[in-house]
Structure 1
Amino acid sequence: MSCNSCSSDINSIPKGCKSNGSCGTGDCEKLSVFDWLSNMSLPTGQKPLNIVEVRFKNGRKHFYKNQDNLQISIGDIIAVEGNPGHDIGTVSLVGELVKVQMKKKGIEKESEEIKKIYRKASQKDIDIWQAARAKEYETQFRGREILGRLGLKMKLSDVEYQGDGNKATFYYTADDRVDFRQLIRDLASAFSIRIEMKQVGLRQEAARLGGVGSCGRELCCSTWLTDLRKVNTTAARYQQLSLNPQKLAGQCGKLKCCLNYELDTYLDALNGFPKQDIILKTEKGDAVFVKMDIFKGLLWYTYKENRSKWYKLTLEQVQEIIAANKKREQVASLEEYESELIEETKVDFENVVGQDSLTRFDVPKRTKKSRNKRKNQQRGNQNKPNQNQKPKVAGSQKQKPNPNQQKKAANTTGNNKTANAKPQGNRPNRNKKRRPPRKSANNTNKE
């Protein structure tokens, strides 16, 4: 995988270590291989393999013969045979592990696809190679302008120059067959180089360009995935996923490659489940399959005539009903089986502290101002007389209180006002005349 700080710019140059893919960690390039046999010596009488693996732009790798027995190690920049001329690449693997890679790709040692190594790259070769790499972005931009002028239905995704700068390979994608003979003439006259057109698939295009997937990580095809297998919608059906093309499609527009990662696990888990087209026969009616939870061993069924409610059953209950149906027996109903299902609540964590509550921050914090306001209201309620209680007068005569006399200001001023002060405002009219209070020696009220 690539370094964390080596995100490439528009010129495909890493921004982090600025070593253009040849840093000492060996992880700037795509699909780097750790040679775990480098410190081991070969058996007596066995000659080392004279074939090395060379990496080019965007993880493109080929095998080359070291006929001159040059001292080559991983990370060396070498000049190899091209078509025509020569190309510049970086050695990615040497030794016995090259046999494993060749066997994996189905290439024999005496195959004609294996070309030869010319020499180790000199400083002049490296300068020409870097100058050719610097022209790739401008060439791609002008190539797209020529495509738009010709009106061809194809997309130019990438351009790669050969190490000597005499040839450029244009990678494109197209849905239908395209006649690009006039395009090659226009490109050759515009750049004065040899042109090669190479069509790639949508997955290969995403692997070359790179990007970030819906999981938040770099694309698998641009970091470590080499075998781009075909993905079908049956993989999503086996995993009980909704067939939503927007969620199942990746950056390339095809189905995500990660749908195949857990497919074997799901297939093994589905061996004990009944087929989805089996109908459960009950006295209440026939029941059909709705959905399932594979790893919890739960299935949902509903009646054909009344599909408003789903009934949750375990795998053992469904197998019991199927076994009864094979004996030409009908069970009572699905409600009885669902009532037997008791779910036990599992505690996922324990509060080891025993004093902290998860909702301790839900109650708003009371400020000092609100506390003082609440205290003042309580004091005012204590000083106020009870409106339901009628005031007592001298003797046996009861006098109804005036409602205006019950009002009292919360904040008192410097002048002290007694509770018997005369209220302001008009006295309400009453039909019944009130008698004056009877004078007695014990009456000490003062007006």
Structure 2
Amino acid sequence: MSASLREPIARAPEILRSPRLDRARLDAILAAVLARIDDNLAVFTDAFPAPSSEGGVYPAIDNIEWTNGFWTGMLWLAFEASGEARYRAAAERQVRSFKHRIDHRINVDHHDLGFLYSLSCVAAWKVTGDACARDAAIQAADALLDRFLPTAGIIQAWGDLSNPAEAGRMIIDCNLNLPLLYWAAEVTGDREYAKAANRHIDQAARHIVRPDASTFHTFFMDPATGAPLRGTTHQGFSDSSCWARGQAWGVSGFPLVHRYNADPALIDTAARLANYFLNRLPDDLICCWDLVFTDDSQPRDSSAAAIAACGLLELARALPLGDPDRATYEAAALAMVETLGQHYLLPEGPPGTGVLAHAVYHMPKGVGVDEACLWGDYFFLEALVRLTRVWEPYW
């Protein structure tokens, strides 16, 4: 797809005029997030936050959910941002939990192994050279590769691989799980990991991305013939609408994959998705839970905004300096982080209190609506780290 097919960003002049966060303000917001992590260490060192909060406070759970890696990733980010040993010590204790989880196959029969192991064990390997963490991450990559359906060319999101009624589902979220496969290919020298990831990202670009640069949340392929079947939603407003967090996964995931797979079409696709996203935001640039809504009639999703901010920064990094939208992406990311830091931080509360208010987990099921969501907290911190230092992604 050509960059010329991008939808023009209607508010580009306004976004470019947005006041720019200075380093002092970024450091102040970062300090507030680190203080919240400190408040929660007593609860979440041997336990983990649930995916979404209840009244702003995360219940404590064991290492069983698809979201646990986001908390460990926050600990690694906190350690890299501050150098404080307490964050590293807590993260390393949790890495041992992830090794136990993959050794014993505890709720790992799904595609979210990248969310789990890139942010915990790959991060540990990159930051400290932990060999145990490296081994656990390779085991997780093996489990993810087991979900690859060669004829369909996709990694099945969830469901029993032997059940035809459940087979053939890919979802936009998987873009963020693919870096685990690319990393495994690099550290082991086995290109089968990368071949599967390349096939999946190509199928996602062909079938999840619609002609207008909106996205399906879910797309079904025939696992026996490889034929494309239908696009649907699982968490969006309708099959034809555009789930905001899914679009944000696309804005972030295509350029992250581009770090490993240098196909320029990935960046063109991400830019088209980014422009679609930016053109469907409320005045403060914090999206509603589905992009079919553009005002205060529906709940915002601060978690999708935080993902998108990281994606816009990653996309801008991959674009040439002369790209017409590059500066707008950077300005929009800064404006989102400023708004989240000024208006969306949860006030101080009991241990377990989340970072970002007004997120949405699963609107159709009424789960985690207008709460903190763990991935939103992670990506908000990742955005702050990206904006305040040179950082090597865990992805």
TM-score normalized by structure 2? 0.22
Structure showing greater radius of gyration is 1
> Which structure carries more relative contact order (alpha carbon 8 Å, separation 6+)?
2
Which protein is richer in strand relative to its size? 1
TM-score normalized by structure 1? 0.20
Which protein is richer in helix relative to its size? 2
